[in-house]
Chain A
Amino acid sequence: MDAPKNKKQANKHTRCEMEQTTLNHVKGGSFLLEETDPYNVFTPEDFSEQHQMISKTTSDFVDNEILPRINDIDDQKDGLTVSLLKKAGEVGLLSIDVPEEYGGLELGITSSILVAEHIGRTGSWAVSHGAHTGIGTLPIVFFGTEDQKKKYLPRFATGEWISSYSLSEPSSGSDALSARTTAVLSPDNNHYLLNGTKMWLSNAGFADVYITFAQVNGEKFSAFIIEKGFPGVSTGAEEKKMGIKGSSTRQLILENAQVPVENLLGEIGRGHIIAFNILNIGRFKLGAAAIGAAKKVIADSNSYAKTRMQFNKPIADFGMIKHKLAEMAIRTFVGESMLYRTAGLIDTVLKNINKESPNAAAQTLKGIEEYAIECSILKVYCSEILDYVVDEGVQIFGGYGYSEEYPVARAYRDSRINRIFEGTNEINRLLIPAMLLKRSRKGELDLLRRATQLANDLLSVSSTNCEANAIFSTQRKLIDNAKKLAVMMTGIVAQKFLERLSEQQEILSNISDIVMDVYAMESVLLRVEKNLARETANEIHIKIVKTFVNDTMVRVEMNARDILSSTTEGDTLRTYLAVLKRFTKYTPLNTVALRRVIADELIGKEKYSL
């Protein structure tokens, strides 16, 4: 285990002032290669008293101020979203990530994620809040000049001004850098003249500021801060969307828009650095919002299942409904474990940054960038957890689930965008192995060497023998094997396709799935192990881990089979398949019984609380 890297800790101010268990630095992406000590993992059970108070304030704010108005919000009732954003500003819910010197609170990632999770229950409004506080505010926090920070951040922190952000254009989405919007310096050198159309700006209808990108002289991708009142700036009509109907989404139309030179954000030609770095945090927060939304759907579905009578019984008494409720809860508990583990990883790095230092912003960014792999994992995994949860939620409500009279229809529509924005799940599935390999080639992760080593020792690999008495000995062994498989598969694929690997999207996606499943299984295991050691875990948590690992290993095996069968053949394939079989061999558990107990625990409660 690395010792805490930073000796500067003794400095007067540290960035994150939240009391938190002291954890050691763990290198981003290293979970795939190393074993993690449960004590070195942050869990929701480690929240400080302040975290809990922040959680309560946010939760009460959501329940009392936002949810009762959700229909009006979705009807885009004039001024409502903005007035609620300002109200959130008064409580401090817009300023968590803004530095103190610019009117913010700078409370660290864990608090930020906690707030994003609660606000995630509000669907459309969560998108408005996230667009403003995340992608709308953070580019200036991290890349703004002193003047830009002074001008915009205090206004963003209170909600006096609302921000908006766009990377997309009508013809460029995932391929963001091919944007066509241009910026040309005016003859008097005072302005850039921007021409083009940006697409899908959340908050566009009421935003005061738009952060967006254009090619300077048609070739240098750069970021700009554009104010609503600049000449040549207008917005298009409201998009008619499938869900998140309350969030304003429009085009930003730039026709010889005059943007003062001082509103260039960051350096010319370095727009991609801003775009991609901000996405890391955006992806993390999206994961948090998805888990918050999932908890609400579980609570709604649970209370419906308890009161809906069919065949003289509440439907919660039926096995297939119990299966759904249990599985919704298992996945959400897993997602939550992944979220706060990652928050702990990032906060550990941020805590050691001296915020008085002139390059504190750059260090913070670097600290977050280190966990870009984890951020992508969270984005994909949690958005897919939510999609599962809303889908089964509608099913539990049956016909009523299809009616807008009940809350689950909205949740179903609102969920779908999460797999698309902040980088589609497909793009993120390509990024995960690409980042792993890049870091391996740069010597930051010992992945490829380990892969070769594993390939050489193939036949000496032990099968899954369990140690007696340890609750999770089988699960630990299986997760360890899944890590080895992920490393091995990445090695095999990298060696086979070399530079042409990026053309093998299907296989990269299989690798990503294994890597994500590893992070998920390990995160929930570590959380429960840590809690067991201090007696804050219960029987239900143990059953969640066992059920999840049991089912997930089947998926890991399937993905590995797909990878092997599409990269090797003949004797090599047969040898690998034999190894795979040994790696993933275990006696399946009675998950019917496990899920029934988990469901009954949930049914005995009003809310999602496990």
Chain B
Amino acid sequence: MKIAVCINHVPDTETKIKVGADNVNIDKTGVNYMLSPYDEFAVEEALRIREKFTGDVTVLSLGGDAHKETLRKALAMGVEKAVLLKDDSVRDSNGVAKALAEELRQMSPDVILFGKQSIDYDNAQVGTLVAEMLGLPSVAVVVKLDIQEGKVVCDREIEGGHEIVETKLPAVFLAQKGLNEPRYPSLKGIMAAKSKPIEEKPAAPAEVQVQTIHLKKPPAKGSGKILSTDDSAVSELIRLLREEAKVI
């Protein structure tokens, strides 16, 4: 089984994001980066599929040299190979998908995994776009993935319930939280990752179709108001909800 996982290098979930001086990018000073959490489920699933069926797992990431850190983490978790599609420019989802699709077309893996979305810009588009570009079936928001003889049965999370779908390999799957419990990169894995190569390739070019022109933080939350504790509070509350908050 040939398995590919596309992963992204994103700001740590604990980062307090500041908008940069240009109002288009975030201020990257002091920001720690990590493997995007949904991508981590995808890597773990890839390793489990390999452990069950044998084969090998390749992780791909599009970006600058900094992405090597995240690729290395996947290698430390037990992935065999890593490919960095080198590109320092800002791309939209279509541009990212195009570069990944080019590379995946040549690899022609049986299973392609993504996180359901990358937690930086949250577009949740790349995995599905790649499937479309490669003409492969795709299943998004997967919480269970069962590869059987000649078919794959997936459990997808949908609003208020679950949908069970069936498809055939090769296919693209987008991991949701709950798919598995990712392993810790073991100390042995970390040391082994040191000697695993990261192949660097130029990323296929793509035109920018959607461009960020402004980033904004949500307005700061005001402090709460405590009204008096007697009956008059009720009419005052109604007045405020009508006139100030304008919700009733």
Contacts and interface: CB of A to CB of B under 8 A. Distances in A.
Binding site secondary structure of chain A: helix
A50 B191 contact: yes
B191 A49 contact: no
Contact of B184 (A50, A61, A95, A111): A61
A606 B32 CA distance: 14
A50 B194 CA distance: 8
A1 to B, nearest CB: 30
A141 B172 CA distance: 49
Interface string B124-161: 00000000000000000000000000000000000000
Interface string B65-83: 0000100110010000000
A60 B190 contact: no
Most buried by B among A54, A57, A95, A111: A57
Given A49-B69, A53-B72, A53-B73, A92 B188 contact: yes
A498 B190 CA distance: 53
B184 A105 contact: no
A389 to B, nearest CB: 23
B184 A53 contact: no
B11 interface: no
Interface string A108-129: 0001000000000000000000
B186 A91 contact: yes
Contacts of A61: 184
Contacts of B193: 53
Contacts of B191: 17, 50, 105, 107
Contacts of B186: 57, 90-92
A542 interface: no
Nearest to B16: A606
A162 B5 CA distance: 38
Interface in B179-224: 184-191, 193-194
B185 A57 contact: yes
B122 interface: no
Interface in A566-610: 606
A540 B69 CA distance: 28
B149 to A, nearest CB: 31
A105 B76 contact: no
A92 B188 CA distance: 7
Nearest to B188: A92
B14 A53 contact: no
A17 B195 CA distance: 12
Contact of A91 (B73, B184, B194): B184
A91 to B, nearest CB: 5
B190 to A, nearest CB: 5
Interface in A97-113: 105, 107, 111
A525 interface: no
Nearest to B69: A49
Contact of B190 (A54, A90, A95, A606): A54
A57 B184 contact: yes
Contacts of B72: 49, 53
Contacts of B184: 57, 60-61, 91
A257 interface: no
A93 B69 contact: no
A50 B185 CA distance: 11
A111 B14 CA distance: 25
Most buried by A among B72, B76, B184, B186: B184
Interface string A126-137: 000000000000
B190 A57 contact: yes
B187 A92 contact: yes
Most buried by B among A19, A91, A107, A606: A91
Nearest to B189: A92
Contacts of A606: 14
Interface string A244-274: 0000000000000000000000000000000
Nearest to A61: B184
Interface in A49-100: 49-50, 53-54, 56-57, 60-61, 90-93, 95-96
A53 B76 contact: yes
Contact of A105 (B69, B73, B188): B188
Contacts of A60: 184
A105 B187 contact: yes
B9 to A, nearest CB: 14
Contacts of B14: 606
A340 to B, nearest CB: 18
A20 to B, nearest CB: 13
A28 B66 CA distance: 39
A115 to B, nearest CB: 8
B150 to A, nearest CB: 34
A96 B69 contact: no
27 contacts: A19-B194, A49-B69, A49-B72, A50-B190, A50-B191, A50-B194, A53-B72, A53-B73, A53-B190, A53-B193, A54-B187, A56-B185, A57-B185, A57-B187, A60-B184, A61-B184, A90-B186, A92-B186, A92-B187, A95-B187, A96-B187, A105-B187, A105-B191, A107-B187, A107-B191, A111-B187, A606-B14
Given A49-B69, A53-B72, 5 more contacts: A50-B191, A50-B194, A54-B190, A57-B185, A105-B191
Q: Which 4 pairs show the lowest CB-CB distances between chains A and B?
A: A92-B187, A53-B190, A92-B186, A57-B184
